[in-house]
Amino acid sequence: LLQLCLTAVALAAPIADESMKTNGMSNAQQFGTGGGIFGFIVLILDIIVWVEVLKSSRPPSYKLLWCVLVFIFPVVGIILYWLFSDRAKWNAEGGYEPI
């Protein structure tokens, strides 16, 4: 799995070419890398979801499934978690206040 991920990253990396620098933007801006504010917000929301999942009273297999889903698909995973995770049921049994 790690090799597959590294191969995907290597193939997705842009190749530096002087002909691609015609519009005056840097490579990071041109190829949409860097994340910016949106990436930072998604990171914070991912961390909140992970903490909430790990503190819940779910079985370990459900915790693992939700954490992996949010890790692999950050934006879609957060949306699916907030829509379909039945947070009220699992958090109420745990006896802690939600984040």
Give the C-alpha separation, 61 to 50, whole Å: 14
Q: At what angle do helices 36-55 and 60-72 cross, to 10 degrees?
A: 180
**pLDDT surpasses 70 at 3:** yes
**For the segment 31-55, what is each residue's pLDDT rounded down to a tens digit?**
555 567 888 888 899 999 898 888 8
89 class by beta-carbon count within 10 Å (0-12 exposed, 13-18 middle, 19+ buried): exposed
Question: Which residues does 20 contact at the CB level (< 8 Å), separation at least 6?
Answer: 14, 27, 30
Percent helix / strand / coil, the chain, rounded to 5: 70, 0, 30
- The pTM assigned to this predicted structure is 0.57
